[in-house]
Structure 1
Amino acid sequence: MSMSELMKFIVKELNKEPFNKSYNLISFDSLEPLHLLQVLNDVLAVIDPKQKMDIREESPDQTAVRIFQLLRVLKYKPPDNMNMSEFRAGIVQGEKPVIFPILEWLLLKVPELQKRAYLAKFLVKIDVPPEIMQEEEVNGIYLQYEELMDQFKELHKQSEQLKNSGFNTGEIRKDITNMEEEKEQLIKRIERLRRKVESHPNSQKMMMVAKNLRVERDREKKLAAQKQDQLTAIAHLDQRIKRLEVQLRDMRQTSIGATAESMIHKLEEETRTNGYIVKEQLPRDIGNKKKLIQNLQKVVSVPAMGHSDLEELNAQINLLNAEINQLIEKRMRSGEPTDDKLSLFRQQAGIISHKKEAAAETLRAARDEYNHILHELEQKREVVNAAEGTEVLKGEDFKRYVNKLRSKSTIYKKKRSELAELRAEVGVLTRTEEVLKQRNDHIDRQLSVLERKKGVAGYRETQEELEKVSSMKSELDEMKGRTLDDMAEMVRRLHAEVADRRNNLTPILREIRPLREKLQELNPEYESKKQAYERQQAGFDSNMSKLEQEVKGYREECKAEESRYHYLNCMMKVLQVQQSRVASEMKAYVSSDALEKKKTFREVYSRKIQEQESLSRGLREKQKTVKENHEPNMKQMKMWKDLERLLECKKHCMNQMSNVGTTEGATAMMGGYGDPAPTHLEEDRLVL
């Protein structure tokens, strides 16, 4: 990834949650080393909240040490083309080629690194010197510390499994409500049973027996828990014995072929190396750090400079470099031959000193890497021991284990085929169950409707509850009768089993001691043969993978050809059917039989065409007559509508005149005088 793409990725990630920065490429590229270190510290603070602070409030040495320690815990590996001294100096000075890859690595793995930083607080072991570990009290505390660490691993693993199990708050709340409803139902049921039991003559005696049963069951659970604790303690002691045996074996292997002179020579070399590091390299590094700190303090104390000030300083630097070059040339011209010889020796001495410094730095890096690898090896051993709980099989045991695995693999394949059949059958049965449930629900609804019609609603539920209560009562009676005998038999069986286990373990432990010694003798031969086996296995695996790829390609090609064959076969069948139709059509068309000719498609379609043409001619004639009679028919319809309106109006007027005539007759009877009634002609005139 180029530097520009790296900057784009870092700026994009820093502008997201939870950093919420507002950088762009220009502003981020123009950050000063101190601000860039602060950005790195902010990212580390998101991973580990303890790192949240302002780096201006602590010294650069403390900042560098704190960042180095956290990166080591997070298992960050510097680039291969950079040694540790350049890497440390780049972090202290805030150099972009060193800081940008760290930011990219951190931003790619933020959730994973947060988890690792959290676990490091509890799983990074404390380094205790061996001479202090020889004390019994310290050794006991350290063993207790390791046991607590193992317990934390198990609890954390269980927590992760629960987090990934898919439960959410909605489901838990639903389960809680269901459990509360079940609790209420159980309370009601218990009340009903209590009322029934109180009426029983031996109720107190039965309650005492049930109470004793519950007490004995609780005691049985406690004994089982104690047994489990003792088994775990035995497992921890076995692990401790294995670790001590490994340490003893390593010490014996290191002591093979060692003499006093070789050990003294080795110690002298180590002393000289450590003396050089302590007397020469560390003071030089401390002096360089102090000079760097002084320079940084001077830079911090100087007020902010502008572009013109920087140009002036660059010009002064160029002038001083030119003067230095002139002085060096002048000295070389005026130098004597003895000086030239001394300069050669000085160059050789400088080269040797540089080589010593590089070797010392390489030694320091190798020691750090060695300690880190030892720490990882110890952690992985603990993980393997915790996961397996047994030693690695070797020799004949391993062969028997392989044969056992092969037999189990054949059994597994057989069981897997049976499992596939059972799964298919389960699918069918599940569908059948769903159909039966639907039918049952439908029948229940019909029965509830019938019960409501007959006036006995809830009869079935009541009957089912009565049957359940009676069955529970019978089960309780049987269980109470068997309880005391079972408890006595269980206690006797447990005592006998414990005694048998003790008697069986004693000869086994005696036999194990010579076998362990024999195991230590056979370990080197096993390791050599294991390496040869692994080499052969790697070759076979590589050849097997190549052959599997070839077989896969051939199978895909075969599948493609089979699909093409089936497609062509189907097309041939379609063409054959079409050809048979064409042949039958030609046969019928050429035949001299009139009935056969009528069955041809040509005759059928020509007959249908004639029928449709005759039908269309009749429709055209009908359309023509409709168009010709449209206007007269419309006029006639309008005249009929006008006549209808005229008659309605006449009817309305007649009704009005009849009402007026009745009114005038009434007035004449009362002695009044009115106009004469209108005649029929006058009525017609009024209507018109």
Structure 2
Amino acid sequence: MPSDQQQLFKETHQKYQQTFSTKNETTTTELKKEIKQMQNEKEQLENRLNKMQLKIENDKNVTNNKEKFQQILELTSNLRVSQEEESNLLRNAYDQRKKHRMSSKTMHELQSDKSALEEIFNEISEHVIPNETNAISEDSAQHLIEMWKEKNMQNEKELEHVHNEYKEHHKMLQELLNITHSDTKTDNELSSLRNEINELSHEIGDLENQRDSLLQALDSKLAIYKKRAFDMAKNKTVLLNKIKQIQDEIKDVRTEIMFRCVVFKDEMDKMHINGRRPMSEKEMKEYLVSLQEKKHKYEQCQNNLQRQSHEIGILERTEEILKSRHENLQQYIEYKEKEESLAEQQKQLVSISAMKSEIDQSKGMTLNSLSEVAKRVNAELQLRKNKLVPLIKQFRIKREEFEELQKEYKDKKQIYDTIKMTYEKELQQLQTSIDETGHDISMLNQDINQTQKQLKDKKELLANISSDEKCKEYKTIYENDTAKLLQKSKRLRQEQKIVIEKQGKDEIQKEYFNRAKQLMQIKLEILEAKTQTGTTTNENGADCMIIAGQE
């Protein structure tokens, strides 16, 4: 029966691990869907830009103002960013809903498993399973259910947060669309705008040439950085898989330790690994929390890098679109370069490259630290597993021995209780008989004293009567009476001797029984002390019973 209970608990734990792992995994189909969605969004953005261009060309009421053109460009970029954020929010909301459904299903399954486990525990607790292991297993099942409840609460909070962000971004989009569709433009403004677009296209061409000349020097460095980033991404995926495996192993070890922490607490304090005590459960939790914080920081840095690269890609796309459709932007870019020196741009590029190198170094350091931490955790887990195997075997052997000793102790205790009851009854009977004989002896002594007094009185009377010759008949009467009294006194003395002899034997027997009672009480205390320490043997119990029978 305990093996069935352990198998059921392991099955529920495996289900929990599978559900937890499937939530975090991303399949290739999902990635393909995301790529298609990005392509569709790209096409939609291109169509919108074409529509805006047609509106600018065909509308008669177009204003001739540089600031409004720049506002339109900013609005398009903001619109693109907001659309991407909206799509990300929708995708996150869908994932959160999916996770919530999966967690609710697993909650129902765990509750059903918990009810089944409780029924098994109630059936087995009276006969087989000890109270301590039953309490531990129930606590572990309750702990898993509480963990799932906390995760469901977190998922609900995240869903609320995602809905709020989605509403805010939707409001921003509506405001941007209202701004884009609000203004009307005249023919003069439209012609001036076209001239400005041509100038800007010329300026953009010049800027692109300068950018190409600057980037040619940086192409080699960028290729190296791209290779490093690719290698780092591969290493990151490998390390994340290892960390997941380590987390699964840690969960298995924690469940095993929960079953055996009560029994092995004293032995774990005595154990030493490399001159120090092994980590307790609290220390292990703190260590895992620190690992999760480091992982969270690493993910934040990675998200920032992805966001920056995404923004750079958006800017490059906008540049390419404007370059392909506006030839006069080159002149506008030359005009802007005259106003703003290229030295500042070069400084910015140098600072960006330095920041990128620092970020790459920090990435390498974090990955190395994570790999070292993973190796340490694996080594410590292996050591603990190797240490726990012989202890578990010893624990099982000790447990079997303890159960056998407990059975023997109960059997001998029953025999001892029955013998003790019989001896106590006999002692009570002997005590009552001794009290009765003592009372009889005291009564006989009183009778003897009275008869002796009567004899003395009658002897005096006989002496007085014998001195008188006239009273011979009285003398014969008194002689007969004295003869009767002497016979009676002899008989009473014989009875007194018998009673005294019997009293001596009864007192000796009473002393024997008192000594036997003291011995039995002392041996009972010794047996109780030994059973408390767990060092009783068969021979001691047998000796106790033999001594009690002899005495």
Larger RCO (CA under 8 A, 6+ residues apart): 2
- Whose helix fraction is larger, Structure 1's or Structure 2's? 2
Q: What TM-score do the two structures reach when normalised by structure 2?
A: 0.23
Q: What TM-score do the two structures reach when normalised by structure 1?
A: 0.19
